[in-house]
Amino acid sequence: MFRLAHLTDPHVGPLARPRLRQLFSKRATGYANWRRGRSRSHDMEVLAALVADMRVQSPDHVACTGDLCNIGLPSEWETARVFLEALGTPERVSFVPGNHDAYVRGSLDGLLGTCGPWTADDAGRRGCFPFLRRRGPVALVGLSSAIPTKPFAASGRLGEAQLAAAEALLVALGSEPDRPCRVVMIHHPPHPGGAVAGRELKDAAAFTAMIGRAGAELILHGHNHVGSVAHVPGPDGLRVPVVGGPSASARAGTHADLPARRAAYYLYAFTCEGGRHRISATSRGLNGSGLIEDLGPLDLAGA
């Protein structure tokens, strides 16, 4: 059995005070939002407790689906690297970026320059998407939907070239005699209707069509700060689960009082029976009393 932990949207703080010239951009509104309330929605003590609990569970690998940063400041890149180191070595942790990691032009390049080892593919290339990382029976395919956007927008885009490369990769993996369990990592909800206008993946329909042709066994995302399970059609009438995680730093006593929004991470178990992959999942995170515990299984099959 192979075990994979998934956490997302930690929005690692604290956020250093920006220099004046750094606020002559979208960062001005982002920093104002941080000061007005966003900083109180993300609790670093909760995040630290969640990571400590995850380490006790000893997963074989960790998937982190973006938004390490808040407004893409250079000071945040080193903080992001320290956080990834706390999760594990680059060989044991895979990372794809989110919209806050690409907050303004140059932010994503800076972050990937610092945190590139956690995005390196099996050939050692860093910051190239899609990437492929084989770990046990699992083939992790990492995509980047992170793009800089205008103020008050948080949309994402994969682009035709990345979609075509991802399709070729997934098809090749699915054609192997001992087909690995293909797990796609992306920040934005990749299915149409997965996020409201202004926060959506612009080419979600193209992504869904690509999965319908190429197939995958599991798709992981973040962005919405809410736990969710959806499905998209795969080849031969199969349904591919699309699982979104809540923010790993959601503070108790805010919107995290809604169970699906409480800080949590998901723990997947992969087994192979009769040549077919079996996936089960459970959630671990804040309960109603603010303690971290097993929150029960996820229904990946759906109705």
User: What is the DSSP code string of 65-133?
Assistant: -S---SS--HHHHHHHHHHHHHH--TTTEEE---GGGGSSTTHHHHHHHHHGGGG--TT---S-SSEEE
Contacts of 51-57 spanning 24+ positions with Cβ under 8 A? 51/7, 51/86, 51/87, 51/248, 53/284, 53/292, 54/5, 54/7, 54/87, 54/265, 54/267, 54/284, 57/3, 57/5, 57/267, 57/284
The CA distance from 80 to 70, in Å, is 10
- The helix or strand, by DSSP H or E, that contains position 137, with its residue range, turns out to be none
Residue 139: both structure tokens together = 């083939």
The CA distance from 42 to 18, in Å, is 19
Q: What is the pLDDT of residues 147-195, one digit of tens each?
A: 998 888 899 999 999 999 999 999 999 999 999 999 999 999 999 999 9
pLDDT of residue 254: 60
How many other C-beta atoms lie within 10 A of the C-beta of residue 48? 13
pLDDT of residue 31: 45
Parts of the chain with a pLDDT under 50: 18, 20, 22-24, 28, 31
Alpha helices in 129-241 (DSSP H): 160-174, 204-214
Residue 112: both structure tokens together = 């990937």
Predicted TM-score (pTM) of this structure: 0.92
pLDDT of residue 253: 63
Match 């400041």 to its residue by tokens: 73
pLDDT of residue 170: 98
Match 């960062």 to its residue by tokens: 27
Q: Which domains does the chain have, with CATH numbers?
A: 2-298 (3.60.21.10)
String of b and e for 231-269 (b: at least 16 CB within 10 Å)? bbebeeeeebbbbbbbbbbbbbeeebeebebbbbbbbbe
pLDDT of residue 205: 98
Q: What's the number of CA atoms in the CB half-sphere (13 Å) around residue 107?
A: 27
Instruction: From 116, 186, 111, 103, select the one nearest 152 (Cα to Cα).
Output: 103
How many other C-beta atoms lie within 10 A of the C-beta of residue 1? 11
How big is the chain, counted in residues?
303
pLDDT of residue 22: 47
The answer to whether 222 and 201 have CB atoms below 8 angstroms apart is: no
- The helix or strand, by DSSP H or E, that contains position 39, with its residue range, turns out to be helix 39-41
pLDDT of residue 150: 85
pLDDT of residue 37: 55
pLDDT of residue 5: 98
pLDDT of residue 303: 53
Q: How far is CA 267 from the centre of its chain?
A: 14
Q: Is the dihedral of CA 101, 154, 160, 143 positive or negative?
A: positive
The CA distance from 256 to 295, in Å, is 14
Q: Is the dihedral of CA 262, 290, 300, 94 positive or negative?
A: positive
Q: How far is CA 98 from the centre of its chain?
A: 7
